[in-house]
Amino acid sequence: MRRTTLIALLALIAAAGALLWWSRTSTPPMEPPRAETPPANAPEGPSQEVTLYFAREVSSAEFVGWVLVPVQRPVAPSASPEQAVLEALAAGPTSEERQAGLVATLPNGTRVLGVQREDGVITANFSRELQENFNGGAEWEEVVLYSIVNTLVEAGNAGSVRIRIEGEPVESIGGHLAADEPLQRNDDIVFHGNQR
């Protein structure tokens, strides 16, 4: 009797296993295929055009060195357009922009911790990587500072920008230029066609 029950139980388990195998191989998956993840820089939903300032090295009879180049970029609408443009700036140029010779300005690993606006001054708060990972001289420090300032002044329609690191004032990010006072837009460093 026990032997017959054991054989019947084994037959039932084998039939259930065969049925499970057949159902998995003969029916389509119940879950719809997943959509591809959009690229990190792609805006979700309606977007707004903003201007970011990335760096390009220029060599001409009149000038040799680094300049800032304005780039139009769509970003997702945000409660804080200033925060959105700084995050796009921190993400760096797209592959097409890099092919055109544009270079990221913020040091590797720099994160935007927050942006506040008060009385026409925007305060941009960054992670310590802005200072710790800075690698350059006075010319590159000017590029980094004014990529932030010019981008924010244009996006936020503000008069000046104050830089903070981890919420604290900073004298300089690279030891060459003062960053402890609010900075105004600098058009002298912006590339305009064949002239700086």
Range of the domain at 164: 48-169
pTM greater than 0.85 (yes/no) = no
Determine the 3-state secondary structure of 1 from DSSP: coil
Q: Residue 46 belongs to what H/E stretch?
A: none
| Residue 41 in domain | no
The neighbour count for residue 127, using CB atoms within 10 Å, is 17
Q: Which among 88, 165, 86, 173 is positioned nearest to 127, based on CA atoms? A: 165
Given a cut of 60, is residue 62 above it in pLDDT? yes
Distance CA(125)–CA(161), nearest Å, equals 11
**Does residue 86 form part of some domain?**
yes
> Does residue 66 contact residue 139 with C-beta atoms inside 8 Å?
yes
Is the pLDDT higher at 55 or at 46? 55
Does residue 24 sit within a domain?
no
How many domains, the chain? Answer: 1
Is residue 14 in some structural domain?
A: no
Q: Where are the alpha helices (DSSP H) in the chain?
A: 2-26, 81-91, 95-99, 129-132, 138-156
Is residue 16 a part of any domain in this protein? no
| pLDDT tens readout for residues 129-176 | 999 999 999 999 999 999 999 999 988 778 899 999 999 999 999 999
CA-to-CA separations, 93 to 42, 108, 132, in angstroms, rounded: 12, 13, 21
Tell me if 54 is assigned to some domain.
Answer: yes
Q: How sure is the predictor about 103, in pLDDT bands with cuts at 50, 70 and 90?
A: very high
Q: What is the pLDDT of residues 27-46, one digit of tens each?
A: 333 333 333 333 444 445 56
Q: Kindly report, residue by residue over 68-101, the tens digit of the pLDDT.
A: 999 998 887 776 889 999 999 999 999 999 999 9
| Token pair of 170 as six digits | 């900073």
Residue 176 lies in a domain: no
Would 112 be classed as within a structural domain? Answer: yes
pLDDT of residue 155: 87
Secondary structure of residue 32 in the 3-state scheme: coil
